[in-house]
Amino acid sequence: MAISGIRDLIPSPRTFLSVGLSSLLGGAVAIGVSWHMRGPEGPPGPPRDPRFVSIGRAYLPELGKAYAAAWEEGARALDSGQPVSAAIAAVGRAWDTNRARLFDRMATPEFTGIVPESRRDADVTAQQRGALAAAWRGFAAGLDK
C-alpha cells in the first residue's frame, strides 16, 4: 500500500476533535444522569469504629489461609489412606482450630480492649456496649470489603 493510501485511512483532525468532544460530552451526561438517579441519601447508619474496619480487612485474607490449611489437612488425610468421612472430619477440626487461633491472635485483643473477657455482663456499661457494637459493625464492614 502506498503512503498516500495510508493517509486516506487516518481521520482528519476535525474528526478527532468531534470524536473527542462527543466522548467528553457523553461521559458528562452519563455521570450527571447517574448522580441524579442515586436518590436521596438516607439518615446515617449506626456508628462503626473505623479502626475495626481495617482489622476486618486484614483478618479476611488470613481467614482464607486458615480455611485453605484446613483443606490441606483433609487432603493429607486422604493421601494417608483415610476414608473420605475421616478426611472431612479432619477438615472440620482443622478449620475450627485455625479460625479460633486466628481470631484470638488478630481480633480478641482488640475487642477485649473495649470490654475485657473477664467482665461480667452485669458490669458492662452502656457506653462499653455501644463501643463494642460500633467495633463489631466496623469489623463486619472490613470483612465485607
Other CB atoms within a 10 A radius of the CB of residue 119 amount to: 13
Residue numbers of the domain that contains 61: 57-116+123-143
Q: Biggest alpha carbon distance in the chain?
A: 90
Number of structural domains found in the chain:
1
Closest listed residue to residue 139, CA positions, set 131, 119, 69, 117: 131
Contact between 132 and 111 under an 8 Å Cβ cutoff? The reply is yes
Whether 67 maps to a domain, the answer reads: yes
| pLDDT top residue among 36 and 107 | 107
- Report pTM: 0.65
Whether 107 maps to a domain, the answer reads: yes
Confidence of residue 145 (pLDDT cuts 50, 70, 90): confident
CA distances (Å), 35 to each of 27, 50, 82, 131, in order? 12, 26, 59, 34
Whether 105 maps to a domain, the answer reads: yes
Whether 36 maps to a domain, the answer reads: no
Whether 48 maps to a domain, the answer reads: no
Whether 134 maps to a domain, the answer reads: yes
Q: Is residue 19 predicted with pLDDT exceeding 60? A: no
Whether 31 maps to a domain, the answer reads: no
Whether 23 maps to a domain, the answer reads: no
